[in-house]
Amino acid sequence: MLEKKLTMIVMNETYGVCRLDNNQPVPEWAKNSRFYSITRTFEELSIVCSQEIIPDDVKCEKDWRMLKVEGPLDFSLIGILSSISTVLAQSKISIFAISTFDTDYILLKNKDFDNAIEALSNEGYEITA
């Protein structure tokens, strides 16, 4: 289990989580965000990006804020997402997590963001702007 609490960095944009049909090509607008994540599965094409660039006709859940776990993180570390999600679940805060080679990103609804920061800080996580 993860022993040392990690530093999390507040990302200063608002994001949207979009769903497109799995057979659609990746739209060019999705690449116009400083941060974007694209995942294609057998069922869907999911895109996370800055909400300001998302066209109005795209199925999307908006108003997400993001915390970046300061990395890079070693692949041998165990329990990073589990520890973070447990703290937030105890505060009744849901998350949308994205993992990359170097680190993890935690998306939280804007309405829950301040409570999430407080809950994580109370558990020893360092939160920086």
- Asked whether 102 and 75 are in contact (CB, 8 A), the reply is no
| Domain presence at residue 66 | yes
| Domain presence at residue 70 | yes
Query: pLDDT tens digits, residue range 80-108?
Result: 788 899 999 999 999 999 998 888 899 99
pLDDT, the chain, mean:
91
Could you give the number of structural domains in the chain? 1
Identify the residue whose tokens are 């694209």: 38
Report the CATH number that the domain containing residue 28 is assigned in CATH: 3.30.2130.10
Residue 9 tokens read as: 């960095």
> What pLDDT band is residue 76 in, cutting at 50, 70 and 90?
low
> What pLDDT band is residue 129 in, cutting at 50, 70 and 90?
confident
| Domain presence at residue 76 | yes
More confident residue, 80 or 17: 17
- Asked whether 69 and 104 are in contact (CB, 8 A), the reply is yes
Examine the pLDDT at 55 and tell me if it is beyond 70. yes
pLDDT for 82 equals 84
| Domain presence at residue 16 | yes
| Domain presence at residue 1 | no
Question: Taken in order 69, 73, 77, 81, is the CA torsion positive or negative?
Answer: positive
| Domain presence at residue 37 | yes
| Domain presence at residue 78 | yes
Range of the domain at 45: 7-128
Choose the weakest-confidence range: 40-44, 57-61, 62-66, 102-106: 102-106
pLDDT for 2 equals 45
| Domain presence at residue 2 | no
d(CA 96, CA 105): 8
